[in-house]
Structure 1
Amino acid sequence: MTISRRYMLAGSAAIAAGVAIPKVACAQTWNPSNVRVVVPFAAGGSVDALGRMVADGLKQGRNGTFVVENKTGASGSVGAATVAKSAPDGETWLLTFDIHAVLPTLIPNLPYDNDKDLVPVTLIGTSPMVFVTGAKSPFKTFQEMVAYGKSKGGLNYGSGSAGTLGHLTMTMISERAKVPMTHVNYRGGTPALNDALAGHIDGFIGSSSIVAQHIAAGTARPILQTSATRQAHLPNVPTAKELGFTDIDADAWWGIFAPGGTPRPVIEAFHAELEKIFTLPASRKVIDAYQIKVVLSKPDDFKAFFQREMNTWGKVARDHKITAG
């Protein structure tokens, strides 16, 4: 994509004044030879899979290095800080998960400013969340789960980590259903789900993608889903709205951010590349495997979405004094 004349003039003026500007500002097109997609979570999950899909897509037709860097720790904030402190040259991008919107609340002393140091690029897509229990659980419906929890003095459940959208959603449901639900902190969704399936905890909440195969195999029993409408493959599982929680409409989501100061033409060129990558057959396999509803929103739309997520879920975390585990 060609850089606008106004942008080139501004770059020329900056050079004449002796001001350093990102090297991409001097280029006629964005055609990087080295790109790193920073994933703030461990290899093996949905975020990592999407990151590798993007890096592999960028490699096509280019010479250079296109890699995924798994910068884990502190609920994703370590990887986010890495990108926030990187040069805005179009060579470093953050691909992360919905917990990113709540990090300023979960971790009050973040080493970066979520509003200034990271620029929203695109909402990749969304996926409904499902609360499941093991197949041998003593309850089969939400009503039975609430009654069981009250009779036992409470329930416990897990999610990917403290402060996930699933954790915050179940916190709201626990309060309104008037049944204590204790969130058990795990380092990732897989160990939490495994403990729920084995009966070590009462349940697990996560994106549809992580529980779908277990539901199909009969090893997990779905209790409720958090999206606005029922998923086609879970036609008999009620939504939170149907259960009386009319303001709960919560989907897991994935998004991409750039370092603050990244030129808008570079972001738009990268977005155009993403649009191509998401049409590739290899990409479709990843998308289908994780049951992601692709959005690929424009930067301004993602910025508005992200601000709403920060406001909504940040308030839930603050009201219930939830911090990073």
Structure 2
Amino acid sequence: MRRAILAGLLGLSLGAPPAGAAEVLRLLSGFAPGGPVDQIARVIAPTLGTELGRTVVIETRAGAGGTIAAQAVARAPADGNTLLITTSSLVITAGTVPNLPYDPRRDLEPLYYLGPVQTMLVARPSLGVRSMADLVAMARRGQRLSYGSTGVGSTMHIGGELFNIATGSQATHVPYRGAAPAITDLVAGNIDMLNADIPVLRPFVLDRRVVPLVVYDTQRSPHLPDVPTATEVGLPALDMSNWYAVLAPAGVPDAVLRELEAGLARTRANPEVAARLAEAGFGAPLDRAAFRAKFAADYDRWVPFVQRAGIRSE
């Protein structure tokens, strides 16, 4: 009874476990509580617990760009009782972290792709640009520019480097401890621009505290339909979304993976979960086979990119 009350307070499920399965399913997040990954984990955990008939416990192992949690899952028993919820930063850190203590391709199994979230580039209003053409012209005139990020090797950092490469600019990278302080400094005029997930930036765009310039995609955002895409502004190389997904340790039996994947798919299709993820800007999910192909393609794209750019985490 006491355990049931506690589970109810945590919003978790206490159904009977499947035959041969442990009752508790640990879902590890490598990013700070209250951040996007933690929020998405809390959106899916109660429904996932119900679908699997298990208690889903979210564990935060924040630090080192998500690699602490990824390493913990990579080294966990291959029984399907420990999973990782993460973003596309998992692929990027494979190229930016020297002597990474695990190999994402060898030690982790792509399980379910919850969906991509579009990113966009914005500038501070006092910079005086109103379009991507204005910003590119300013950069090419030699004006010194700066961009913020959540740290070396983050998706925001990669977005800034994509801008530099696509436009021939040399904007200076200014790392922060999170998106919130970076955006605060942008609004205050202390940095010139940054690239981040559209749901994070949308309130600032609507309040005119930042100037929207371009969506890093081939399709416009349904949340900000007036902002042009990278293709429309003539910079197709500015193509990068930030995805969210769940992975398992390598070696988990296929029957267990199928059961977990099915539970995640039912969770993702749950009307309440689907509505909340749509509100957060999520695109369509992918099953295990499609996610495995996407993971391999992203690894082949981003690891060489960050290595050529000389991006190294501290």
TM value normalised by structure 2: 0.88
1:120 touches 1:303 (CA, 8 Å); kept in 2?
Answer: yes
SS at match of 1:294: coil
| From 62, 65, 81, the counterpart of 2:71 | 81
SS at match of 1:132: strand
- Please show how residues 114-153 of structure 1 align to structure 2 within 5 Å: 114-151=104-141, 153=143
Distance of aligned partners of 1:284 and 1:248 in 2 relative to their CA distance in 1, 3 Å threshold: same
Partner of 2:305: 316
Shift of residue 281, structure 1, vs aligned partner:
4.1
Distance 1:32 1:281 in 2: 28
| Structure 2 spans left out of the alignment, 5+ residues | 1-16
Is 1:159 paired with 2:149? yes
Shift of residue 222, structure 1, vs aligned partner:
0.5
Shift of residue 75, structure 1, vs aligned partner:
0.9
Distance 2:20 2:175 in 1: 42
- Please show how residues 253-292 of structure 1 align to structure 2 within 5 Å: 253-292=243-282
Computing the radius of gyration over CA atoms, which structure comes out larger, 1 or 2? 1
Distance 2:18 2:50 in 1: 20
Is 1:198 paired with 2:191? no
- Letter of the structure 2 residue corresponding to residue 306 of structure 1: F
Distance 2:136 2:236 in 1: 18
Shift of residue 91, structure 1, vs aligned partner:
1.1
1:46 touches 1:290 (CA, 8 Å); kept in 2?
Answer: no
Is 1:49 paired with 2:50? no
Shift of residue 238, structure 1, vs aligned partner:
2.1
Distance 1:139 1:150 in 2: 14
Distance 1:109 1:311 in 2: 18
1:72 touches 1:79 (CA, 8 Å); kept in 2?
Answer: yes
TM value normalised by structure 1: 0.85
| Structure 1 spans left out of the alignment, 5+ residues | 1-26
Distance 2:237 2:142 in 1: 28
Distance of aligned partners of 1:284 and 1:298 in 2 relative to their CA distance in 1, 3 Å threshold: closer
Distance 2:183 2:172 in 1: 15
Shift of residue 64, structure 1, vs aligned partner:
5.8
Shift of residue 28, structure 1, vs aligned partner:
7.3
Distance 1:287 1:322 in 2: 31
1:33 touches 1:62 (CA, 8 Å); kept in 2?
Answer: no
Distance of aligned partners of 1:144 and 1:68 in 2 relative to their CA distance in 1, 3 Å threshold: same
Q: Percent identity over the alignment?
A: 28
| From 203, 210, 213, the counterpart of 2:200 | 210
Shift of residue 123, structure 1, vs aligned partner:
1.4
CA RMSD of superposed structures (Å):
2.1
- Letter of the structure 2 residue corresponding to residue 206 of structure 1: A
SS at match of 1:81: helix
| From 179, 193, 217, the counterpart of 1:189 | 179
- Letter of the structure 2 residue corresponding to residue 213 of structure 1: P
Distance 1:268 1:170 in 2: 38
Distance 1:311 1:142 in 2: 29
Distance 1:89 1:323 in 2: 34
Shift of residue 30, structure 1, vs aligned partner:
6.5
2:96 touches 2:311 (CA, 8 Å); kept in 1?
Answer: yes
| From 163, 178, 197, the counterpart of 1:173 | 163
Is 1:306 paired with 2:295? yes
